[in-house]
Amino acid sequence: MATVEVKSEITGKVWKIETKPGDRLEEDDAILILESMKMEIPVCAPADCKLVEILVAEEDSVSEGQVVAIVEEE
């Protein structure tokens, strides 16, 4: 099983974390939601996987390309 870094595609603020470590996710399930310019943008699972770790907290600011979560592909 390969671990994959999930990166933010935008600069913004973590508005809401939708999952917790250990959760099983399907491709395109929202891991967390970012807020940028009053828009809500989900950060989604890249494939069917298990969430290993979330590297940010709600209200944290994130940069484009920053790793926000680690998943393990199944």
Q: Which 8-state DSSP code applies to residue 63?
A: -
pTM across the whole model = 0.94
Q: How many domains does the chain have?
A: 1
pLDDT tens-digit map of 29-69: 999 999 999 999 999 999 999 999 999 999 999 999 999 99
pLDDT value at position 19? Answer: 98
Exposed/middle/buried for 50, CB within 10 Å: 0-12, 13-18, 19+? middle
In the predicted structure, residue 74 carries a pLDDT above the cut 90: no
pLDDT value at position 20? Answer: 98
Residue 30's domain is classified under what CATH number? 2.40.50.100
Across 10-14, average pLDDT: 97
51: domain range?
3-73
Q: What is the DSSP string of 10-30?
A: S-EEEEEE---TT-EE-TT-E
The total of other beta-carbon atoms located within 10 Å of residue 42's CB is: 15
pLDDT value at position 1? Answer: 75
Alpha-carbon distance values, 9 to 2, 64, 68 (Å): 21, 5, 10
